[in-house]
Amino acid sequence: MPSVVVVTEPEYRKAEAVFASAPTLSCVVASAEEDALAAAIAREGARHAVVSHRPYRGPLYEALPRGGVLARFGVGYENVDLARATAAGLLCTNTPGVLDQSVAELTMTLVVSAARHVPDVASAMRARTWSPVAGIELHGKTLTIVGCGRIGRAVARIAARGFGMRVIGCTRPPTVGEPVGDTRRADPDFEFVTSDFAEAVAGAHFVSVHVPARPENARFIDAARLAHLERDAWLINTARGAVLDESALYDALAGGGLGGAALDVFDREPYEPIDPSRDLRTLPNVVLTPHVGSNTTEANRRMAERALANIVLAEAGDIDAMDLLNPQVLDERRAR
């Protein structure tokens, strides 16, 4: 009899054909809300779960049996309590690499939209107003990419090879106790890469953020770093809302310290301003989209396939081939 996998409803609908046709698993749709999800796991006798980006902090970890898989439908996993999952003997996975192109393409779409004032002129046309606005070409302009992982590199290749942009890479500065070394280094995907933020953004027309939402990256783009950007630069964020200080961004935009911002991710989703007096939706130089970076037909299919593949590997005992986020769970299992 096939193992039962509970899949949160938004993720199931994004790739229903994949989940419905899984040959060795029985996928059942359930609410993404944690209490209801845990109840569905118990009711269905599910061994595994595929979950959304919502925070899971409680009953989910008690509902799944030891050895079960808690699979994230996506790359980011800050919503999963890895320590708690490890203690419960759960194998946590994500789906790296399968959404890079989709997020990179949206990032460049936001860059183009900013450069050619697409939201403004489109809104004017809907209002029956003919209001042509001069934009800028991207060829020869500088794009700084903060975070040089897979998605950042995909953006760099599109920007450089497709638009002829000058692309600079920026990595995190060394943490306390790490050797400093040279701040600048060569890299085939960038003109150069540096850990000096001020150097990286100097002269940049666009700055795109691609760092993960880890504790050390909380509010990484803060007021001090925003102050290093050029006054006419645009900030693009398709990573995670937690890496950006939204209130500081509002102040920079409203005070003329920044040209504009295009955001697909937010600290609170659906978007609610952290400070009601600093609502980014009220500013004219802001483009907002509802976290759709990875939401393409192709990426959704690949994420579903990868999540289920991890579960199949777990069932076969092929742990080494999984996208395992908490390898410590193997030590915990051996100790039992």
User: Could you list the active site residues?
Assistant: 240, 269, 291
Q: Which residues pair with 49 in a beta bridge?
A: 6, 70
Tell me: cis bond preceding 270? Omega within 30 of 0 counts: yes
Instruction: List the structure tokens of 311.
Output: 């579960």
- SS3 state at 320: helix
Q: How many CA atoms lie within 13 A of 192 on its CB side?
A: 11
Enter the tokens of residue 285. Answer: 């130089």
How many other C-beta atoms can be found within 10 angstroms of the C-beta atom of residue 122? 11
- The pair of three-digit structure tokens given for residue 106, joined into one six-digit string: 């949206």
Rounded CA-CA distance 89/67 in Å is: 6
Distances (CA, A) of 189 to 17, 168, 169, 176, 248: 36, 9, 8, 28, 31
Q: Which of 133, 114, 116, 117 has its CA nearest to residue 234?
A: 114
Q: Check: CB of residue 145 under 8 Å from CB of residue 169.
A: yes
Rounded to the nearest 5 degrees, what angle is found at the Cα of 270, between the Cα atoms of 279 and 98? 120
In sequence order, what are the residues at sequence separation of 6 or more whose Cβ sits closer than 8 angstroms to the Cβ of residue 204?
A: 142, 143, 144, 168, 229, 230, 233
